[in-house]
């Protein structure tokens, strides 16, 4: 697993079915992985469990990345500009929040008790 992660939390727009959002985001994750520096990815349906208030976001895409976040974002932008990544007309209506995560220390693995 890569050390750096790029986390994208999202909520599909009203009027876009869960099936359509799933179909589009499945393909979108794969087209993002064609971008240098995006090493692997996985999508999640998320459930807000503990916080001061609801986030209103329902999905998470986790990308394992290599390189600076500036280089990664620039590479994605360039691919969109040349038409390698085509976004649906409703893309601008998606609520989302993106985060770049860098590790503070080594990975810790739990010990299974019998």
Residue of 106 and 50 predicted with greater confidence: 106
- Phi (first) and psi of residue 69, to 5 degrees: -65, -35
| pLDDT score, position 108 | 86
CATH classification of the domain holding 24? 3.30.70.100
Domain that holds residue 94: 4-101
Read off the pLDDT of residues 22-43 as tens digits, 9 standing for 90 and up.
999 999 999 999 999 999 999 9
Is 31 a member of any domain? yes
Is 112 a member of any domain? no
Is 36 a member of any domain? yes
Give the whole-number percent of the chain exceeding pLDDT 90. 75
Is 53 a member of any domain? yes
Is 110 a member of any domain? no
User: For residue 6, with 0-12 CB atoms within 10 Å meaning exposed, 13-18 middle and 19 or more buried, which class applies?
Assistant: buried
Q: How many domains does the chain have?
A: 1
Is 113 a member of any domain? no
Tell me the pTM. Answer: 0.86
For 51, the token pair is 């916080």
Average pLDDT over the chain, rounded to whole? 91
Read off the pLDDT of residues 62-86 as tens digits, 9 standing for 90 and up.
999 998 999 999 999 999 999 999 9
- Whether the pLDDT of residue 11 is over 80: the answer is yes
Is 114 a member of any domain? no
């Amino acid at each position: 697993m890569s050390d750096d992660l790029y986390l994208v939390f999202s909520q599909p727009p009203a009027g876009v079915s869960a099936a359509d959002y799933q179909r589009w985001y499945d393909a979108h994750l794969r087209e993002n992985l064609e971008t240098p520096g995006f090493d692997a990815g996985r999508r999640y349906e998320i459930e807000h469990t503990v916080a001061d208030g609801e986030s209103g976001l329902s999905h998470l895409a986790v990308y394992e990345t290599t390189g600076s976040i500036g280089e990664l974002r620039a590479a994605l932008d360039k691919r969109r500009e040349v038409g390698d990544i085509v976004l649906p007309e409703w893309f601008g209506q998606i609520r989302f929040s993106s985060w770049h995560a860098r590790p503070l220390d080594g990975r810790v693995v739990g010990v299974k008790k019998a």
